[in-house]
Amino acid sequence: MRRLICAFLLAAGPATAQQPPLPAVTLGAGMHLIHAEVADRDASRAYGLMERTSLPPNGGMLFVFQERDLHCMWMKNTLLPLSDYVSLHVPLTAATRGLIDRRRIGLLKPGATLVYCVCSLEPEEAEDQIAALLARNERVARLPMTGQDVFGHAEFLTPEGDLRTLPPYLPDPDPRWGGLDGFYAARLTRTP
């Protein structure tokens, strides 16, 4: 059973693949669909995004590991500017609580965007993480979202401009089709 998705990379633009095609999946991220290649074997994870100069619109790569653990990754010969669009999503544990720290923020180039997201209603996994990050790191700032960023659903936004969906949102007369998961996302930028 696949237990942990360690890293997910998302980009825009045409693809230039140098390795054999990988299996692909379509993922839902809130109201967005992402078409991701799946790197779930040692060879495909080792090759990763090497030699690529771009990815298709709403395209990405999932790095999946069989064992639940922290995994380090080095993207050798990766031509994509990964500092523009790297997103890590792992369960919040004692080991991952400080995953986005001062050193890792320093790896982003100034102006790069970082999106922190979690499918959770718990403030300590969502809002509290961003508040703590902003309090301890002057090289990152919030980029508030607008109603236009969420297809006109300004009710999904917090006063700070973060995305927060709740189960009663988007009701439907048929309860099987209404409502949303509890989801949180904050858009941040690396400052100079």
pLDDT digits (tens, 9 = 90+) for 128-166: 989 989 998 889 999 999 998 888 899 999 999 999 998
Write the pLDDT tens digit of every residue in 105-127.
787 888 888 888 887 888 988 89
Query: CATH says 95-192 is which class?
Result: alpha beta
Flag whether pLDDT at 12 surpasses 60.
Answer: no
Percent of the chain with pLDDT over 90: 17
| pLDDT, average across residues 169-181 | 81
Domain boundaries, the chain: 1-90, 95-192
Return the closest-CA partner of residue 127 out of 138, 136, 116, 143: 116
Q: Could you tell me the two tokens for 43?
A: 């060879």
Return the closest-CA partner of residue 16 out of 52, 46, 62, 66: 52
Average predicted confidence (pLDDT) for the chain: 76
Q: Could you tell me the two tokens for 181?
A: 């998961």
CA distance 99 to 144: 22
